[in-house]
Structure 1
Amino acid sequence: MISSSHPAISTFHDYVKDRGILSSSNPGSTFTWTCNTAMSSFVIVFLILSMLLNTGVGVNFTDVFESSWAPDHIAVVGDQVTLSLDSASGCGFESKFKYLFGKASAQIKLVEGDSAGTVIAFYMSSEGANHDELDFEFLGNVSGEPYLVQTNVYVNGTGDREQRHGLWFDPTVDFHTYSFFWNHHSIIFSVDDIPIRVFKNKEKKGVPYPKNQGMGIYGSLWNADDWATQGGRVKTNWSHSPFVTTFRSFEIDACDLSGEDTIAAGAKCGKLAQFLWDKPAKKRLEKSKKRQFKMVQNKYLVYDYCKDTARFTQMPRECLY
């Protein structure tokens, strides 16, 4: 949001420069989608090998990610990327690699002020009609009203597994960490290392579970005022654009599938207990995390598809166990 205290700011570039997000020495260069040529080949090789060996590392944005649409609405400095939405376009980025199991996280600062109608997405997804997908979607609201965080799980192209949570802080004031933890046993969505959702593997009960398709990591900011805020009743106020969100401090500790076919991927990433995230201790939440999870479910869960009897004449199978 452009506040009255910044009357001279009229463009996304001016906004991020004013907030200190971009360097003033050569701000135009931050819009160029090129690798950092100053980085030595040794460091690049080290980064790639670290991911192949599944060592959790912070990443330089352009080494691992690239623009997926509207690069002119994206500004990059080091590991930090700022996305902008105006009446012309939103924007998004995607990872250059696919991953099967592991952990991925980012720190995100959400749109300030009136964000009604906007959606910020941080998600993992494979490709095709029968894709798997894990979503964080941050649903904007009018000034003074809280953000809602919607999570969803798609398996083989089928979603409709939404949960919505409030947050115990203002996500527009500072950065907070949002993460996916995905192994053979469960998928855990966490905020600042506090689990807010657990999707368990219930294949033995006939419930499909994502385990075969490598997923990329994505981020986007877009207009969804047909549904995002109060069911679409509140529309995006374009006089408050550009709407701006910033991602930083990406960490990826996952099995990299780059260049692997399906059989090789299964051999590389599918063996139980081969990696840290599949060790016996990771089969379930530890006691302290269980307490945190229960607290969040009791105090901050505002919608659960498993309890929506008006929506489903027959409840999804995973909700029955």
Structure 2
Amino acid sequence: MMSPSNSNLTSSTAFLLYLAILLNVVSAHNFSKLFQCNWAPDHLVDEGDQIKLTLDTASGCGFGSKRKYLFGKISLEIKLVEGDSAGTVTAFYMSSDGPSHDELDFEFLGNLSGDPYLVQTNVYVNGTGDREQRHTLWFDPTTDFHTYTLLWNHYYVMFLVDGVPLRVFANKEEANVLYPKNQAMGIYGSLWNADDWATQGGMVKTNWSHAPFVSTFRSFKVDACEFSPENGTVIGKCSNVRQYHWDKSAMNGLSKHKSQQLKWVREKHLVYDYCEDTVRFPEPPKECLN
């Protein structure tokens, strides 16, 4: 049996660990704590615990984080545009600034009613993208909220949906493949019209009689290293980024369970992979080689 003194000590230790976790993870039910509207504020509705992005013939809209981050785990919940959303794109992504930027994209491509949503992911490194993958989802993303996560560490970038890995972009610098690791990125979300390409290659245009189109975001969680623009370094404990759980050596690779999930997603839901597009890439990109 544990003595009262040991019990108190254990409780105190547990509380300190819990407090440390809270200090490292910023969870915002209030949108304005972490973000601000950076495009068409009259089309963004802030309801405190969630926000609604709207798109009509006048404009779409978007938001961005007040800070930038270098490595971390970013997640939020989204409920996508319902019904006929053809031509619209809802996006959740991270990006640095400038033409030689790094960027990690979730883009949800609108559909005709009854057709599946397509989720396009992309990775830009030093201004070069063209690394698209497209998937269907195993649920209807318009009827309820689902969690979308970007996990970015020294080993890989992982795109997750409800905790299931959708895609992994591994660090293959040993094979002379560029990897995003030097540019701090902001966190962004947007809803916009892209009917020149978004649905069936642009063949299906936006039906504006269904406007306004609405996507809803909530439950923003940022467990990441904040970047200081003043001195060009990460702040505080992030000066030793490897101490974070998402960047420890144990994260160098997927668990057996995650590997099985990723295999299932590729077999059942992958509809396009740039690595297999021999028209665009007669010679496979280096990162596509095993």
Compute the TM-score of the two structures, normalised by the length of structure 2: 0.90
- After TM superposition, give the deviation of residue 50 of structure 1 in Å: 7.9
Give the structure 1 partner of residue 147 of structure 2: 177
User: For 1:81-131, what per-residue CA distance to the aligned partner results, in whole angstroms no more than 9, with x for missing partners?
Assistant: 100000110000000000111100110000000000000000000000110
> Percent identity between the aligned chains?
67
Give the structure 2 partner of residue 241 of structure 1: 211
Contact preservation (8 Å) 2:92, 2:105: yes
Question: Residue 281 of structure 1 is aligned with which of 233, 245, 250?
Answer: 250
Q: Does 1:75 align with 2:45?
A: yes
Contact preservation (8 Å) 2:122, 2:130: yes
Quick one: distance in 1 between partners of 2:95 and 2:280? Answer: 25
Q: How many residue pairs align between the two structures? A: 272
SS in 1 for 2:126: coil
User: For 1:226-275, what per-residue CA distance to the aligned partner results, in whole angstroms no more than 9, with x for missing partners?
Assistant: 0000000000000110000100001110001144433x339964646221
Q: Does 1:155 align with 2:125?
A: yes
Q: Does 1:319 align with 2:288?
A: yes
Quick one: distance in 2 between partners of 1:134 and 1:241? Answer: 28
Quick one: distance in 2 between partners of 1:272 and 1:171? Answer: 34
- After TM superposition, give the deviation of residue 57 of structure 1 in Å: 2.7
Quick one: distance in 2 between partners of 1:132 and 1:52? Answer: 28
Give the structure 2 partner of residue 211 of structure 1: 181
Contact preservation (8 Å) 2:155, 2:252: yes
Q: Does 1:254 align with 2:224?
A: yes
Q: Does 1:305 align with 2:274?
A: yes
Q: Does 1:293 align with 2:244?
A: no
Change (3 A) 1:272 1:283: farther
Contact preservation (8 Å) 1:119, 1:228: yes
SS in 1 for 2:191: strand
- After TM superposition, give the deviation of residue 78 of structure 1 in Å: 1.6
Quick one: distance in 2 between partners of 1:190 and 1:274? Answer: 22
Give the structure 2 partner of residue 21 of structure 1: none
User: For 1:45-103, what per-residue CA distance to the aligned partner results, in whole angstroms no more than 9, with x for missing partners?
Assistant: xxxx9899523534420011001110000001123110000011000000000011110
Matches of residues 220-239 of structure 1 in structure 2 within 5 Å?
220-239=190-209
Quick one: distance in 2 between partners of 1:235 and 1:202? Answer: 39
SS in 1 for 2:122: strand
CA RMSD of superposed structures (Å): 1.9
Quick one: distance in 1 between partners of 2:220 and 2:270? Answer: 26
Quick one: distance in 2 between partners of 1:112 and 1:287? Answer: 35
Quick one: distance in 2 between partners of 1:124 and 1:271? Answer: 22
User: For 1:110-167, what per-residue CA distance to the aligned partner results, in whole angstroms no more than 9, with x for missing partners?
Assistant: 0000000000000000000110000000000111111000000000000000000000
Give the structure 2 partner of residue 19 of structure 1: none
- After TM superposition, give the deviation of residue 314 of structure 1 in Å: 2.3
SS in 2 for 1:152: strand
Structure 1: segments with no counterpart, 5+ residues = 1-48
Structure 2: segments with no counterpart, 5+ residues = 1-18
Change (3 A) 1:250 1:272: closer
Q: Does 1:94 align with 2:60?
A: no
User: Greater strand share, 1 or 2?
Assistant: 2
Compute the TM-score of the two structures, normalised by the length of structure 1: 0.81
SS in 1 for 2:242: coil
Change (3 A) 1:270 1:182: farther
